Amino acid sequence: MATILVLDDVLDAGRLIQRILTRKGHTVHVFTDEDDAIQYARSNPVDLAILDIKLKKMSGIEVLGLLKEIDSGIQVMMLTGYPTLDTARRALELGAGEYCVKPIEKDDLEQKVAALLATLGEAPAE
């Protein structure tokens, strides 16, 4: 199973994603602070990052760029409650594999995570 980093400025939102994906057998680390999440990614292998776009200190787009510098092979899913064409375009240009609008349905989340992990050679969880 995969190691997944979740970064959302709302802890409850991150914990909900953690509960859903932990049930699928993944190890999920939730962060509300950008610096803590980036430091974790520098020190630990991460297969997938799920990033909110609206954060406290910087945008999820900026975090995406930093994570790709740390590991160009990391898969990234962007989540936002404030979708715009500009943020979608920038996220995809920087290498995000998915751009999703909150709230995301449980089945949709599971399906998109499985698809992103499949590109890494991870077998989707049953």
pTM exceeding 0.85: yes
Which CA distances in Å does 120 have to 67, 78, 85, 87, 99? Answer: 16, 18, 27, 25, 18
Output the tens digit of pLDDT for each of the chain's 126 residues: 999 999 999 999 999 999 999 999 999 999 999 999 999 999 999 999 999 999 999 999 999 999 999 999 999 999 999 999 999 999 999 999 999 999 999 999 999 999 999 999 744 444
Write down the pLDDT at residue 126: 42
At 123 the pLDDT is: 43
Give yes or no for a contact between 63 and 18, defined as CB atoms under 8 angstroms apart: no
Residue at 90 is within a domain: yes
Does 58 reside within a domain? yes
CA distance 104 to 108: 7
Residue 15 structural domain? 3-118
**CATH number for the domain harbouring residue 113:** 3.40.50.2300
Residue 47 lies in a domain: yes
Number of domains in the chain: 1
